[in-house]
Amino acid sequence: MEELKDIKGIIEVPDYSLWILLSMIVGLLLCLIFAIYYFKNRRKKRKRLTSKQIAMKNLKEIDFDDTKGAVYSFCENFQYFIDEKNKEAFEKLQKELEIFKYKKEIEKLSEEQINKIKSMIKEIK
């Protein structure tokens, strides 16, 4: 019995489990807040343009140096904005511009025609 050693006293073991649990909860909450913020803002940025908005953009970007392209672009995109006020003016101008659509070799648009197209585009704003 002399070989038995005496039992030592109770030793305090540090316990950090509460702090670990709290830090994990705070971390998860921060990640959740970030994810909600990210997806909410991402959805706002991805709004798609309507066909009217695309047509207006195309009308504003008409290149009058390319006569055939300008005439096609104007006739194709202006149709979204036709109402009772400008229907007759558009039909008249469209008949005037028809000669530029179907010929292989065409001359440039006159300044008068360009000004008519630009004024019709300004009216729809």
Give me the pLDDT at residue 1, please. 58
Count of domains for the chain: 2
DSSP assignment of the chain equals -TTPPPPPPP-PPP--HHHHHHHHHHHHHHHHHHHHHHHHHHHHHTPPPPHHHHHHHHHHT--TTSHHHHHHHHHHHHGGG--TTTHHHHHHHHHHHHHHHH-SS-PPPPHHHHHHHHHHHHHT-
- Residue 56 in this model has a pLDDT that exceeds 80: yes
- Residue 21 in this model has a pLDDT that exceeds 80: yes
In a domain, 56, yes or no: yes
Give me the pLDDT at residue 125, please. 65
Same domain? For 81 and 110 the reply is yes
- Residue 44 in this model has a pLDDT that exceeds 80: no
Give me the pLDDT at residue 17, please. 93
Report the chain's mean pLDDT, rounded to a whole number: 86
In a domain, 9, yes or no: no
Domain of 42, in residue numbers: 14-47
pLDDT (average), residues 5-20: 86
64-121 tens-digit pLDDT: 888 888 888 988 988 888 888 888 888 898 888 888 777 778 788 888 888 888 888 8
- Which two structure tokens, joined as six digits, stand for 19? 């702090």
Same domain? For 56 and 23 the reply is no
Q: What is the pTM of this model?
A: 0.60
Give me the pLDDT at residue 2, please. 66
In a domain, 67, yes or no: yes
In a domain, 1, yes or no: no
Same domain? For 57 and 87 the reply is yes
Same domain? For 56 and 94 the reply is yes
Same domain? For 69 and 116 the reply is yes
pLDDT (average), residues 38-66: 84
Give me the pLDDT at residue 85, please. 84
Task: Give yes or no for a contact between 77 and 121, defined as CB atoms under 8 angstroms apart.
Answer: no
In a domain, 7, yes or no: no
- Residue 25 in this model has a pLDDT that exceeds 80: yes
